[in-house]
Chain A
Amino acid sequence: MSLPDFGFYVLCATAVVLLAAQAVIHPTEFVQVCIFGLTQGSIYALVALGYTMVYGIIELINFAHGDVFTLGAYVGSAILGFFAISEGEFTTVNLIALLLVFPAVMLIMGGINVAIERVAYRPLRNAPRLAPLITAIGMSFFLEGVMFLWHGPATVHFPDILPKTATTIAGVFFGFKDVFVVVVAAILVALLAIFINRTKLGKAMRATAQDRDAAQLMGIDINRTIAATFFIGALLAGAGGMIWGLYYNTVYYQLGFRSGLIAFTAAVFGGIGNIPGAALGGLIIGLIAAFSDSYIGSKWTQVVVFGILIGVLVFRPTGLLGMRVPEK
């Protein structure tokens, strides 16, 4: 075992021991924090998948992705406003509205992300590496600006339309919302896995990620495949934005920056370019953020999360699952 690996395991072991101590001393609180971490982590997982897919295929840190996620919540809130929904309770209208709006927002976000790719990234496919990175940051500012123009700097209310059913089991409180978030995220991740592994387009994506030139020689339309990757990444981000809105009922225009960075950390944590890794990384980062919020203090969460980001890259650059990503 090399020294970096050793350091990594020691750090992990220390964290696990400290958490186990907490679990034994205050089991109820611990489980409560875990539930919160898992719901939060499910959203991070959805966003992280978009980062990891785009990075895997064109090696670009798509800074605009976090803002696509936030924009999803904004658009969802706006479209829901057209329905006669009743807030604070759950009616048939709410259910119908949700069933219509959820996929609509996903598709709209997908379209927007494909447009972004077409305008800002495709013309720079053969430019120096820094060029698309800066256009990505530019697109991120642009989207934030659009949201700022739309609703101003204040937080925006998202309709509270999910049932408020909640139960308490052995002192642990959990509601329908928690279950909803985790289940929807799990379904979407499962669909993504099936898509990537079973369909022809999924296979094309994997091939393009592995070796773009060889994939092209095999007759794969590279531009179409990359556009599809952005589309699917944004579907998940849009879903993440909707879930965020439904769960927290509030969004603001700079949400995408901070939570985008955290989701990106999750993608790195799972091994960037690695799809199951991003989902797992999202859950773990969500748990870590929740633990840090309640055991260390929320003002330290950012330091903890980014400290972990640096630590992972130093000790284990291939990520948690340890899969080798081809170096280009």
Chain B
Amino acid sequence: MSQRAAGGSGSILARFRLRERIRDRDQAVYGILIIAAVLFPLVTIYATDGTALVSQATRAGYFVLLAIGLNVVVGFAGLLDLGYAAFFAIGAYTYALLASPQLASSPAHHAVHLPFWLMLFVAMFVAAAAGAILGFPTLRLRGDYLAIVTLGFGEIVPQLFYNFDQWTGGINAVGIIDQPVLPAWIQGPWSGDGPVQIVRSFNFGGDPVAFYVLICILIAAAVILVSNLYRSRLGRAWMAIREDEVAAAAMGINTVTTKLLAFGIGASFSGFAGAYYAADVSLVSPDSFLFIVSITVLVMVVLGGMGNISGVIVGALVLYYVVFYLIPGLPENVTNLANSIGLSSETTHSLADATQHLNYIIYGAILVAMMLLRPQGLLPSRIREQELKHAAVQEEEAAVEMEHAT
């Protein structure tokens, strides 16, 4: 620290500009994201005259929420979680069971219908509790062992929901899940079907736009919360543990509590997203929470740039587009292309067939290529980069000053 003070005004200015630049890039990304989020439904509804794309965007939204949550665990605290979908499942089932007719046909014989707004937080706490229960005995383990434990947990949880079919319906899934209901003062006479209709009615009865608005609000809240956490004492403790656990412990950080908090907070986001998912899709089955979901979310975090929230959001959106839109849409595109260059319909057909079978290969190749070409992600954390470079920069500056002096 004293070295930096003695470095003179030049280096302080340099540092100041640097900070400005860091702010600029992230703010620019956030700005673009906000504008895109506002324009997206307007443009797509106008262009396609339907809300299918908006509900696609909503689906991308809960992957963004999941990625933000996993970023806390993997990016901030450096704990590798390969079973993140388990918490997603726990959140989804918490809402699905307590807000649907499902429990009427279970041994409880009583359907429970709790309101969505309450259940968002209940699901969050249930998932966080599950994270704490799993984390408490296992967070002492290092690196890969923790990854293996979470992997096992991620395999067990969907299987449990599958096996307790008396309660969860097993393979038949939980359906007819309640949709959120807004209080009357938000719907209001001014928006409903009443005589004075000023704006479109805003309720969740099968309206994708309402879900879209809600997920945007949830994501914004999550971003604010997580960025504040990152700048807090806890965030710095996570960083310290990530870089060197032994040194962090020596500095007086309670490593177990800190890691447990990272795990619990990460899990709570997942539970949050799960409850939302259940309400949106209105159907929850154990097959929606397999290993591939955990991996996809992890890849989103890594692709975006671990530890950088805006990067993770961009990564999640890009990967969502590739995995759920580009790759499944490939056969159609190939068919169109083949038709336009005048191939016979038989060749076209077999081409489309072949590309359909290529899904796995393409996804696998993307993962490998991405890691080989840009292992640090699309928008790596600037602060982290600078921290690592800082020492080198200082040395360079000192050398330059020496040159000037002579």
B residues less than 8 Å from A123 (CB atoms): 372
State the CA gap A327–B153 with chains docked (Å). Answer: 24
User: Is B148 located at the chain interface by the 8 A CB criterion?
Assistant: yes
B residues less than 8 Å from A146 (CB atoms): 361
B residues less than 8 Å from A149 (CB atoms): 354, 357-358, 361
- Tell me which of B44-52, B136-144, B265-273, B398-406 binds A: B136-144
User: Is B318 located at the chain interface by the 8 A CB criterion?
Assistant: no
Q: Is the CB of B155 within 8 A of A306?
A: yes
User: Is B56 located at the chain interface by the 8 A CB criterion?
Assistant: no
Interface of A is mostly: helix
User: Is A17 located at the chain interface by the 8 A CB criterion?
Assistant: no
Q: Is the CB of B160 within 8 A of A303?
A: yes
Closest-CB distance, A30 to chain B (whole angstroms):
25
- Tell me which of A87-95, A107-115, A308-316 binds B: A308-316
- Tell me which of B6-14, B217-225, B362-370 binds A: B362-370
How many chain B residues touch the partner (CB < 8 A)?
45
B residues less than 8 Å from A27 (CB atoms): none
Convert A117-129 into 0s and 1s, putting 1 for each residue whose CB lies closer than 8 angstroms to a CB of B. Answer: 0011001100111
B residues less than 8 Å from A300 (CB atoms): 163
User: Is B204 located at the chain interface by the 8 A CB criterion?
Assistant: no
Closest-CB distance, B310 to chain A (whole angstroms):
20
User: Is B187 located at the chain interface by the 8 A CB criterion?
Assistant: no
Q: Is the CB of A135 within 8 A of B149?
A: no
A residues less than 8 Å from B137 (CB atoms): 314
Of B152, B163, B295, B372, the residue contacting A310 (CB under 8 A) is B152
User: Is B302 located at the chain interface by the 8 A CB criterion?
Assistant: yes
Residues of chain A in range 141-184 having any CB-CB distance to chain B below 8 Å: 141-146, 148-149, 152
Q: Is the CB of B148 within 8 A of A61?
A: yes
Convert B309-347 into 0s and 1s, putting 1 for each residue whose CB lies closer than 8 angstroms to a CB of A. Answer: 000000000000000000000000000000000000000
Q: Is the CB of B141 within 8 A of A299?
A: no
User: Is B159 located at the chain interface by the 8 A CB criterion?
Assistant: yes
Q: Is the CB of A130 within 8 A of B80?
A: yes
User: Is A204 located at the chain interface by the 8 A CB criterion?
Assistant: no
B residues less than 8 Å from A142 (CB atoms): 360-361, 364-365, 368
Q: Is the CB of B295 within 8 A of A137?
A: yes
Of B162, B358, B366, the residue contacting A138 (CB under 8 A) is B366
User: Is A268 located at the chain interface by the 8 A CB criterion?
Assistant: yes
State the CA gap A92–B141 with chains docked (Å). Answer: 54
Convert A74-103 into 0s and 1s, putting 1 for each residue whose CB lies closer than 8 angstroms to a CB of B. Answer: 000000000000000000000000000000
Q: Is the CB of B148 within 8 A of A134?
A: no
User: Is A317 located at the chain interface by the 8 A CB criterion?
Assistant: yes
User: Is A322 located at the chain interface by the 8 A CB criterion?
Assistant: no
Convert B116-152 into 0s and 1s, putting 1 for each residue whose CB lies closer than 8 angstroms to a CB of A. Answer: 0000000000000000000001100111110111011
Q: Is the CB of A124 within 8 A of B371?
A: yes
Of B74, B357, B367, the residue contacting A141 (CB under 8 A) is B367
8 contacts between A and B (CB under 8 A): A130-B74, A139-B368, A145-B361, A261-B155, A306-B155, A309-B148, A310-B152, A317-B141
Q: Which residues of B contact A (CB under 8 A)?
A: 74, 80, 137-138, 141-145, 147-149, 151-153, 155-156, 159-160, 162-163, 291, 295, 298-299, 302, 306, 354, 357-368, 370-372, 375-376
